[in-house]
Amino acid sequence: MLKEYFSTKVTIEAGCDEAGRGCLAGPVFAAAVILPPNFKNELLDDSKKINEKNRNILREIIEKEALYWAVGTCSPLEIDKINILNASILSMHRALDGLKQKPELILVDGNKFKPYHDIPYETIIKGDGKMMSIAAASILAKTHRDEYMQKIHLETPYYDWNKNKGYPTKFHKKAIAEHGTTIHHRMTFNMTEQLKLKV
């Protein structure tokens, strides 16, 4: 059962989560969501536990019914420059920048974050399966990123990004071996080591 609020002392909590951290290609996406009081939806859960059809249904509901929501990204070049952990946190900060309401508390999936202005925060391991606002953020981050990967798949369809979304599948690694890398690939994710794996 997902919890609505982490704290009884504040009224405006923003959930944050990212998508695409373990990929070889594409940006990392993050979302920040402030849900209305008593928000409920039986489908809502960690995005990894929900099929694509239901994630897209939830995206429409969240974007319509959330009080505020925003999405932030970091490009492959930024990931290569500052590393994927820092890029994930920066993308969450950028999502928070997009909120039209300043939250009183930030809830972050995982155990790593950096202070965002003067707003207190809580990191919650597996928070996307515990808190509604983080689960909602996980849905938006995942669906917005999947949509982006579908678009760039049209540029270079031989990487199969419409299916693997940039993750290191056998097919994706084989395509890198045959066609090389693109501007969408993260070069600090050691491609040589990846291609040593059985493809």
Q: Which of 113, 110, 114, 153 is nearest to 134 (CA)?
A: 110
Q: If pLDDT is split at 50, 70 and 90, which confidence band does 7 have? A: confident
Per-residue pLDDT at 106 exceeds 70: yes
Question: φ, ψ for residue 27 (rounded to 5)?
Answer: -70, 165
The Cα diameter of the chain in Å comes to 56
**pLDDT score at 192:** 47
**pLDDT score at 190:** 59
Q: Which of 14-28, 31-45, 71-85 has the lowest mean pLDDT?
A: 31-45
E strand or H helix at 97, and its extent? helix 84-97
How many alpha carbons lie under 13 Å from residue 140 in its C-beta half-sphere?
30
Question: Mind listing the domains of the chain with CATH numbers?
Answer: 13-153 (3.30.420.10), 157-196 (no CATH)
Whole-structure pTM over 0.85, yes or no?
yes
Give first-to-last CA distance, the chain, whole Å: 40
Mean pLDDT value across the chain:
92
Could you read off the pLDDT of 60-86 as tens digits, one per residue?
Answer: 999 999 999 999 999 999 999 999 999
- DSSP three-state, residue 192: helix
Report the share of the chain in percent with pLDDT over 70.
Answer: 94
**pLDDT score at 182:** 93
**141 DSSP 8-state letter:** H
Q: If pLDDT is split at 50, 70 and 90, which confidence band does 116 have? A: very high
